[in-house]
Amino acid sequence: MESKHKNALIVALLAVVLVMAVGYAALSQTLTINSKATIDQGSAEDPNWKVAFDKSKTTKVSETPGATGSTPHGVINFNDDYNATITAEFDAPGDTIVYTFTVQNYGNIKASLSAPTISLQGDGDGDSDPSDTVVKNNNMTFTVSSLGSSSLAADATTTFTVTAVLDSTADLSGLSEANNSASIQVSFTAQQSA
């Protein structure tokens, strides 16, 4: 009889060990979930995610005359919600135009913004500065500032400026209008932030 109890006890212990082994194996498994999502910069149809230029607050701040006292002329044209083209026409050395751009998060998801970039548009001698924050063309220099904030909460705004200057030493005698004006592309990107 003692042998039957020993066999029953051994079977019971083996059953317990088996249950523990299966339980341990089940609980120690790593669960991996892979997912891929793409979030674009939003649209009017998607109010949860939209970051764009606030066109009502984006203006040229000042047009400061240079040596002759003649006022330079600056224009902003929006290509879409994330790209704009600024045009500067200078009349005299030292002319300065400062454009202020406002970016707004119209959605309810926090956004992380890239640094704004500028690039020369159209024909011309080309951009002699390799960076994305300065364009030098002929006697003109365009410089973009950093963002007031690169993190944008829902319904918040931030600003940056582009300053256009005609060298104070520029000699415009005999130059065509194409050599004292330029069009510059201004851009930024946004992505969802944690």
pLDDT given for residue 61 in this prediction = 66
Mean pLDDT of 146-161: 89
CATH architecture of the domain formed by 51-192: Sandwich (2.60)
Q: How confident is the model at residue 28 (pLDDT cuts 50, 70, 90)?
A: low
What is the average pLDDT score of the chain?
A: 77
pLDDT, one tens digit per residue, over 101-150 is: 999 999 888 999 888 888 877 654 566 666 778 888 778 888 888 888 88
Domain chopping of the chain, boundaries: 51-192
**pLDDT tops 70 at residue 13:** yes
Q: How far is CA 5 from CA 9, 15, 31, 67, in A?
A: 6, 15, 42, 111
Mean pLDDT of 31-37: 48
pLDDT given for residue 67 in this prediction = 67
Overall size of the chain counted in residues: 194
HEC-encoded secondary structure of 128-181: CCCCCCEEEECCEEEEECCCCCCEECCCCEEEEEEEEEECCCCCCCCCCHHHHE
Integer Cα distance of 59 and 90 in angstroms: 18
pLDDT given for residue 46 in this prediction = 63
